[in-house]
Chain A
Amino acid sequence: MKFQKSLLYFFCAFVGFLLFAKGQYFPLAPQGDSLFKQKIVLNERSEKANIHFTHKNDFFLSERFIEASKKILPFYNSISASVSVVDINNDGWQDFFVPSPSPNSKSHLYINQKDGTFVEKAVEYGLAQLSSPVRAGFFDCDNDGTQEILLTSYKCPSLYQNRGGKYQRIFKFPEPCTFAMGFNILDYDKDGLLDIAIAPFSRTLPNSWHSASNGPGGLMLYKNMGHCKFEADTNHLREPAKHYTHAIGVADLRNLNRQDLWAATDFNRDRIFFQNEDGGYSQAQEVLKKPKAHNGMSVSAAYVTNQKYPSIYISQVYEPGYSIFGNQLWTFDGQQFVDSAKERKINNCGWSWGSKFSDINNDGLVDLVVANGFISTTTGINYWDKIGRFIFASKRYLNNPWNWMSFEGASWSGHQRDCIFMNQGADFVNIAEQIHFDEDLRDGRGLATIDTLNNGKVGFIVANQRQKLSYYQNETESGNNWIGLKLIGTTSNRDAIGASVEAELSNGERKKYSHYPFNGYSAQSDSRIHIGLGKNNLKSIRVKWPHGLNELYTHLKMNQYNTLIESKGKLIETLSY
C-alpha cells in the first residue's frame, strides 16, 4: 500500500511538471486568424510560370562505388540542389539558373518574360550541359556589366564568361580542389574587384558528430587579380584545419565596417573569422555562448529588429530525441554572440537547410523562410531508428561506410514542411501550415528570393533535392509601401556587394540592410535590395558603398525599384579603410 501511494505521488509530481513545461515551452500552435493577423499568400506557381525542372543527382552511382558505400548512396547523393537568381540579360527582370549534376541531366536557365512566366534557355546560353554542376554564383568579376559564373561541381570549381552570347569556361581552379557547396562573393580587400571565399565539403564520412577532424579542408580566399584571374590568398586567411563547411556567410558582425566571415560547419562548431584592420582574417575563439548544435547548414544575416549588430541565423538539424537544439539566431552583444532563436520561436524547423530573411508583407520587419527535409522516401522506415546502432561508437568506426546501416529505402528527416516565420517584432510565428506552404513536403536545399514582377512582392524559389523545384509567387495584398534599390558601384565593385543601406522612414525609424546576395545555403538571391516600409513614407536612403563612400539619396520613388549609382548621391563622408 505504501509503495502504491509513493508511486502515485511520484507520478503526479512528474506529470504536473510536464504539463507546466508544455505550457511554458511548447505552446500549442494557435489556429486561424489568431495565428497571424494579416493574410499572407504564397502560391506554388511553377506550372503556371512554365517552370519544369526536376533536380537529378545520381552522380554517385552504385557501380562506381565500393561495396561498402553502396548501402548509403542516398546519403552521398543528398546535397547538391541549388538555385541562382540573376538578371542575366540585363533587362531589369530577374531570371534564374538551376544546375543538375547527374551526367545525363540538363541544367535549366529560366528567362523572365515580365508577365509572371519564364522561358527555359540554358542551351542558348551554353549552360545546359555542364560537368556535374552543383552550384552557380553569378557575379561581375571584371566590372564590365556582364555576369560571369563561378560554378562548383563534383570536380574543381570553374569560372565561365559570356562570350558572344554563350558561356565558356575561362578559368579552372587549380588542384587540389574538391566538391564545394559553400562559397561567397565579396571584395575583402576593397580593391573594387570581387573575390571568392570558398570551403570544401567532401563525400567522406565524418569521424565524429560533434568534433569531426577529417573534413576536406578549411576556408580559402581567392583574390581577384584582374581580368577574372584568381589566386589563392593565404596571406589574408589561412585555415589548416579540416572541416565540413556547408555555407559561408558574410556580415559586419561587430559593426566595424568590416566583412567578417561565418562558416556554417557540419559535425563541428561553426567557425567565425573576424576581419582585421589590415583586411586579413583571424579566427575568433570562444565567442559563441554555449553552442550546442553542431550541424551548421546555412548562414543568413539580417537586422531582425532595429539593433546595432546584425543577427546571424544558422540552420541546423532538429529531431526530437536526438538533436534538440535546432536553429540558432546569434547576435553580438559587444563581447559574445548570444543565441535567441528559442526565445524568438525560430529554432524548430526540422532538418533545416536554406534560409533567407525577406520582408514578405512589406511591414518593415524582415521575415524568415527556411527550407527543410533531408531524405524522403515512402517505405515508412526511419533512418533515425537505425542511427543509434552505429553512432555510439569510436571515431575510427564512424568514418568507415562498412559500419553504417544500410538505407534500404529509409527516410531521414523526410517529408518535412518548409517554414515561414513571420516577424511580429518580439518573436516570430510559423504560418507555413496555415497558408499551405510546401504542401508536397519536398526536401528543400537552396532557397533564394525573387521579385519576378518587380512589384515589391518578394517570392521564393526552393531547389529541392532530387525533386521538382518549388516556385512561390508572393500574391499578398498588404497595402504597405516598399522601395527597391539596385546598386551600381563605380569605384567599388560594380555589383556593390558589401554595401550597406540605411533607410530613414517618415516616422523617424531606421531600417538597415547589407548587400550579400550569396548568404544562405547553396543559393544566390535577387541582387536588388528590397525594403518594406509599412504605412510609412521614405525620407532618405543612406548607402555605405564598399569602397568607403557614404552617400545620402533623397527624392527616391517608393513602390518601385530605383537605381543608385555610386558617387551620384549626396556625399556625406568617405570612410577610410
Chain B
Amino acid sequence: MTTPAVAARTVTKRFGTITAVDGVSVEIAGGEFFSLLGPSGSGKTTMLRMIAGFELPTSGRIELDGEDVTRQPPFDRDVNTVFQDYALFPHMNVRKNVEYGLRVKGVAKSERRERAEAALHTVRLEAFGERKPDQLSGGQRQRVALARALVNEPKVLLLDEPLGALDRKLREEMQLELARIQRDVGITFIFVTHDQGEALTLSSRVAVFNAGRIEQVGTPREIYEAPATEFVASFVGTTSVIGEEAAAALLGESTARVLRPERVRMATAATAPEGCVQAPGTVADVQYHGDGTRVRVEIDAGASLVAELPNRHEGESVPALGDRVTVEFDRSDLMTLERSTSHDQPIGEKP
C-alpha cells in the first residue's frame, strides 16, 4: 500500500479528566474526501485540531505523508484549515486575506497577486477582492476562507464544520461547490461534520466518531447499508432496532437486527409473501414531511419499527395515531450489527 497522506496512530487526547480522543488510528489516502462524522463532543474536531497542529496529542502519533509531525507547530505543517467561524482577518480585504499565507512565506508580490486571483477564481469571487469581510455574506466568507487555504496548495485541507453557519439552501449549493473544488484541485480533504447527510453526499470515506473513538470507517454506502454498530446505525439515518427477544418472537432467531425505515411498508396481503415478515402493531407516531410520511409502529412482538411511506396519491389513506396496522418487510433487508457499540456509552449522550 502507498504511504497514506494522513495517518493517526493510536492518538489519544485528554483535557484534564476528559478523554476527547481515545486511541484513534486511521489512515487517509491522498486525494480522498474523508469525513469525520459524529455528534458534538465525540472528538472529531479535536482530531482535526491535532492534525492541524493546534493541539498536541497526549499520546500517539500524527503522520503526514509518512513523516511524523506530532510535535510540529501549525506553521511548519503543509496543511491548511477552514475554520467553522471562517476566522477571516477583519482588517484586511478579501485579496489580502487570500494572499496572507503567501505573504508570510515571503512569496514575491506579483506571484502572490496572481495566485490569489487564481484562488478567488476557483471559488468564483474574482470581483470581491477589495471588499472587507464584514461586507460579505456568510456564503461568500466561506468561499474566501476556502480560497485563503487553497492558495497555499497544501497537501491536506482540513474543514471544521465549514457549512454549519449557512442556511439550508446555501448549504446544499456549497456542498456541490466543495465537491467540485475537491475534484478540480485534487487535494486531500478532511471534513468534520455532525450532519450525516452531508457526510454521505460528499465523502469518499467516512469515519463515524462516538465518545472519542471511531465506530466505523467505510464508504458512505458501507456506513449506511452495513452499519457496524448500533451507534452507527442510529446516528447515520433512522434505524429501528429489533432486540433479541423481539427477534426471537418475530424471526425465530435470537440475534438483534436493525432495519431502515424505507424498507418497512404497510402489509397489503393477509399473509406474508415469500421471504417477507409481517408484524402487527399499533401506530404510535405519525410525522408528515413533504415527500413522505414517517410512521412509528409499536409491534406486538415488542419493538418499535419506523416505516417511511412515500406520499404518492392524494387521498391515499395514511394510518392515524392509535390505529391497528400490520407492517411488512423483506427478511433480506434486515441488517446484523458486527458488534454492539464498543463501549458503555449510551447512544446519543455526550461524553
A binds B: no
A residues apposed to B, CB below 8 Å: none
Residues of B that sit less than 8 Å from A by CB: none
